[in-house]
Amino acid sequence: MSVPKTWRGEKYRYRLEAVKCTGCGKTYMPARAVCPECGSRDFEDIKLPAEGKIVTYSMVHVGPAQMQFEVPYAVAIIELENGLRLTTQIVDTQNKELKIGQKVRMVFRKIQEDGKTGVIGYGYKAMLAE
Amino acid sequence: MRDVAVIGVGNTKFGELWEYSLRDLFVEAALKALDDAGVDMIDSIYVGTMSSGMFVDQEHIGALVADYVGKKHVPALRVESACASGGFAFRQGLIEVAGGFSDIVLVGGVEKMTDTEDATFALSSAADQDNESYFGATFPALYAMIARAHMHKYGTTRDQLAAVSVKNHNNGSLNPDAQFGRKITIEAVKKSVMVAEPLTILDCSPVTDGAACAVICPLEMAGKFKKKPIKVIGTGVATDTIALHSREDITTLKAVQLSADRAYQMAGKKPGDIDLAEVHDCFTIAEIVVTEELGFAEKGKGGLLVEEGKTALDGEIPINTSGGLKSKGHPVGATGIAQVAEIVRQLRGEAGERQIDNPKVGLTQNMGGSGASSVTHIFEVV
Ligand SMILES: [Zn+2]
């Protein structure tokens, strides 16, 4: 992970900052230059809601090398209250049954590290709300 | 636009081929395809490879294979669309011949996957690296999420997923080039090592070394060569969002549907006109969804289609007679061309023990990532 690359992602990964198309109202995270729905190039900055629900999920038992220490971990597609969807892990799922439609809240967590001395990547994960 | 035919096909054995390098693989498949066609002179080469850089630290694959196939100074270009690189390479060759720029073109695909420690990481670069892979979504996890959503929405069962693997291993047991040519059971699939719930290792295509090639030329020239020419009657490609979560419906592979619609339209064919198909079963759920998008089953009924045996060798629409990616193996860049090789052999009547009864029209479907790109071709006996 390069330092500038990590830095470029801070806005959305750390703070859930996104953009809303002024043409059709659809939201995007990370920000885009063109709206694929209506073609508009005009966006306003918004902050995403932290509440959402599980659209679909999987418990991962074989991870990439840099995440193998966490297996099994839950990965899900989350739909936030404003309709935006994202992919992330669900934390603290031990002995809990996951279900489609379950409510979650986004939290700030360490995502991965680049060896013992490299950049630590942070970002959002989801936590079961009930 | 000129009509185009396939006049030669060839492939290596698929598997963990420790004694072969990337160039060895490609050259073996290329020479077999050229010999199958009985041609020596070619006008150009297109080669599909997904990630030779990450797998074997080698880019500039077009020049490399032209050199080692022994065709000095011939135009050669590498084509990349993740796991659909081979299918897209075929289409680029087709366009070049149809457009009159070249007569005889060698189209191929290759992947050397077992020289690297972490093939999973290289494969994850076909997903949205910043917004999926970074957060721990592996490829099996993405397809597992499609499976979970499909099971929830349509009642697709665990056994139906496993049935895809059982069928493809049955077919692969009749293919001497297959990586895992042994039969398995539904129970074995369900009890094998868990990868990403609900998918086990026997729901996943393997890591494979291999190459496949085809030789194409204008249909009007095709009668001069050794083998019965097989006409390419339809081609279609489409893309979709790179991230799975950006799609309106997680259970639909829109790029597959659109690539098929475009190929059907060009060919003037309907799903019911297709006698057999090779489709992209990178995971068991993928074959189920793809058969729906290709119009072989109603939306949501793909699981039933395989469970009822309709896609078996003796079924009404045999799918993946070669063993598919699951049993034959999935050297990612080679897969799209290996599918073409299987359809050509079936349409020629050269498929040996797995030959189906007198097919006239065959279809190939090859996709990249979680379905962010798809390419479909339709072939017919002349
Ligand atoms: Zn818009």
Contact A100 B146 (CB under 8 A): no
Does the ipTM surpass 0.85? yes
Q: Each residue of B74-97: pLDDT tens digit?
A: 999 999 999 999 999 999 999 999
Interface of B with A in 241-260 (CB under 8 A): 241, 243-246, 250
The residues spanned by each domain of chain A are 1-48, 49-130
> Would residue B150 show up in a list of annotated catalytic residues for this protein?
no
Look at residue B194 in the predicted model and tell me its pLDDT. Answer: 98
Q: Which residues of A touch B131 (CB under 8 A)?
A: 30, 86-87
Distance (angstroms) between ligand 1 centre and the Cα of A23 equals 5
Return the CATH fold of B127-204+232-381: Peroxisomal Thiolase; Chain A, domain 1 (3.40.47)
Which CATH number is associated with domain B4-118+207-222? 3.40.47.10
Above 80 in pLDDT, residue A130?
no
- Residue of chain A with shortest Cα separation from B152: A100
Categorize the per-residue pLDDT at A94 as very low, low, confident or very high, splitting at 50, 70 and 90: confident
Above 90 in pLDDT, residue A69?
no
Above 80 in pLDDT, residue A37?
yes
Above 90 in pLDDT, residue A34?
yes
Tens digit of pLDDT at every position of chain B (382 positions): 999 999 999 999 999 999 999 999 999 999 999 999 999 999 999 999 999 999 999 999 999 999 999 999 999 999 999 999 999 999 999 999 999 999 999 999 999 999 998 888 899 999 999 999 999 999 999 999 999 999 999 999 999 999 999 999 999 999 999 999 999 999 999 999 999 999 999 999 999 999 999 999 999 999 999 999 999 999 999 999 999 999 999 999 999 999 999 999 999 999 999 999 999 999 999 999 999 999 999 999 999 999 999 999 999 999 999 999 999 999 999 999 999 999 999 999 999 999 999 999 999 999 999 999 999 999 999 9
CB A47 within 8 A of CB A16: yes
Look at residue A2 in the predicted model and tell me its pLDDT. Answer: 85
Residues 6+ apart with CB under 8 A from B116: B54, B55, B56, B122
Distance (angstroms) between ligand 1 centre and the Cα of A39 equals 6
Above 90 in pLDDT, residue A67?
no
CB B364 within 8 A of CB B343: yes
The residues spanned by each domain of chain B are 4-118+207-222, 127-204+232-381
Q: Which of B124, B130, B134, B242 to mutate to test the interface with A (most CBs of A within 10 A)?
A: B134
Comparing CB atoms, the residue among A9, A56, A64 nearest residue B250 is A56
Contact B148 A89 (CB under 8 A): no
CB A90 within 8 A of CB A57: yes
Please report the DSSP string for A90-127 in residue order.
Answer: EE--TT----TT-EEEEEEEEEEESTTTSPEEEEEEEE
Look at residue B74 in the predicted model and tell me its pLDDT. Answer: 98
By C-alpha distance, which of B127, B95, B300 is closest to B218? B95
Q: Each residue of B189-239: pLDDT tens digit?
A: 999 999 999 999 999 999 999 999 999 999 999 999 999 999 999 999 999
Look at residue B117 in the predicted model and tell me its pLDDT. Answer: 82
Return the CATH fold of A49-130: OB fold (Dihydrolipoamide Acetyltransferase, E2P) (2.40.50)
Categorize the per-residue pLDDT at A100 as very low, low, confident or very high, splitting at 50, 70 and 90: very high
Q: Is B145 on the interface with A (CB under 8 A)?
A: yes
Q: Which residues of B touch A63 (CB under 8 A)?
A: 120, 136, 138
Contact A55 B196 (CB under 8 A): no
Average pLDDT over residues A99-125: 93
What is the rounded distance in angstroms from the CA atom of residue A84 to the CA atom of residue B220? 53
Look at residue A17 in the predicted model and tell me its pLDDT. Answer: 97
Categorize the per-residue pLDDT at A115 as very low, low, confident or very high, splitting at 50, 70 and 90: confident
Ion ligand 1 residue ranges (Cβ < 5 Å): A 21, 23-24, 35, 37-38, 40
Q: Each residue of A5-30: pLDDT tens digit?
A: 999 999 999 999 999 999 999 999 99
Above 90 in pLDDT, residue A113?
no
Size of interface A-B (CB pairs under 8 A): 103
What is the rounded distance in angstroms from the CA atom of residue B298 to the CA atom of residue B300? 6
Look at residue A66 in the predicted model and tell me its pLDDT. Answer: 81
Phi, psi of B109 (to 5 degrees): -150, 150
What is the rounded distance in angstroms from the CA atom of residue B222 to the CA atom of residue B282? 33
Average pLDDT score, chain A: 94
Comparing CB atoms, the residue among A9, A85, A121 nearest residue B245 is A85
Distance (angstroms) between ligand 1 centre and the Cα of A24 equals 4
What is the rounded distance in angstroms from the CA atom of residue B186 to the CA atom of residue B166? 6
Look at residue A118 in the predicted model and tell me its pLDDT. Answer: 86
Interface of B with A in 168-207 (CB under 8 A): 193-199
3-state secondary structure of A21: strand
> Would residue B282 show up in a list of annotated catalytic residues for this protein?
no
Topology match between the domains B4-118+207-222 and B127-204+232-381: yes
Q: Which of B60, B83, B217, B280 is catalytic?
A: B83
